Chains A and B, each alone.
Chain A
Amino acid sequence: AQTVTQSQPEMSVQEAETVTLSCTYDTSESDYYLFWYKQPPSRQMILVIRQEAYKQQNATENRFSVNFQKAAKSFSLKISDSQLGDAAMYFCAYSSGGSQGNLIFGKGTKLSVKP
């Protein structure tokens, strides 16, 4: 069975600084997707960034980028120029490569942004 582990229950960053959230996963599959979802206090689940396992290039979305290390089964999220609105719970998630694969989430990292 696939598992997702987020070892940092809480993180804090100063506004305008950079922070990296860690995620590791375990799978025997070769085809899969990895995601970071943001859940602000409203509890809406917002897709931040996605990575396809077969792509070596790390995904980037504006201030958000990932460091995908397939051999190490590591998928960290870097947030640059942190903003107050980035404060939220961040979930790392895995899904199998089949198009209808359900998401398996990590326990989440609560990010605080200090002004």
Chain B
Amino acid sequence: AAGVIQSPRHLIKEKRETATLKCYPIPRHDTVYWYQQGPGQDPQFLISFYEKMQSDKGSIPDRFSAQQFSDYHSELNMSSLELGDSALYFCASSATSGGKGEQFFGPGTRLTVL
């Protein structure tokens, strides 16, 4: 079965650089979520999109922005990167209709800021 795809899997950036993370949800899933997991921490919700519209916002810094495109893939844009942004970034997707609240996670993008 198709899973959530994230790219790149690993990314190394310098402080103050920008980064773009991509997420391709499971086909026919209409909701995409972004989570950030710091070292030794639980995942924290950043932002979500339903049918290409932002549906909820969590602890996402103003330096970050995201959008969902017409093909349902989503991108998380991160600017003015800080050392503290080093983390594992997950994308998850779910199907609103009959989805029963389940979210399926991608493998994550490991971002390292030097």
Contact = CB atoms under 8 A, between A and B. Distances in A.
State whether these chains interact: yes
Interface of A: 33, 35, 37, 42-47, 50, 52, 91, 95, 97, 99-108
Given A50-B102, A91-B42, A95-B101, A102 B108 contact: no
Given A33-B100, A47-B102, A100 B42 contact: no
Interface in B18-54: 31, 33, 35, 37, 41-45, 48, 50
A102 B102 CA distance: 10
Interface residues on B, range: 20 to 34
Interface string B85-112: 0001010101011011111110110000
A99 B45 contact: no
Contact of B31 (A44, A47, A99): A99
B58 A102 contact: yes
A108 B97 CA distance: 29
B14 interface: no
B105 A33 contact: no
A107 B40 CA distance: 9
A103 B33 contact: yes
A45 B43 contact: yes
A44 to B, nearest CB: 6
B45 A104 contact: yes
A2 B55 CA distance: 18
B42 A45 contact: no
Contacts of A100: 31, 48, 50, 55-56, 94, 96
A102 B48 contact: yes
22 contacts: A37-B105, A43-B37, A44-B105, A44-B107, A45-B43, A45-B92, A45-B108, A46-B105, A91-B42, A95-B103, A99-B94, A99-B97, A99-B101, A100-B48, A101-B101, A102-B33, A102-B56, A102-B58, A103-B35, A103-B45, A103-B92, A104-B45
Given A44-B107, A44-B108, A105-B42, A99 B96 contact: yes
Contacts of B100: 33, 50, 52
A31 to B, nearest CB: 10
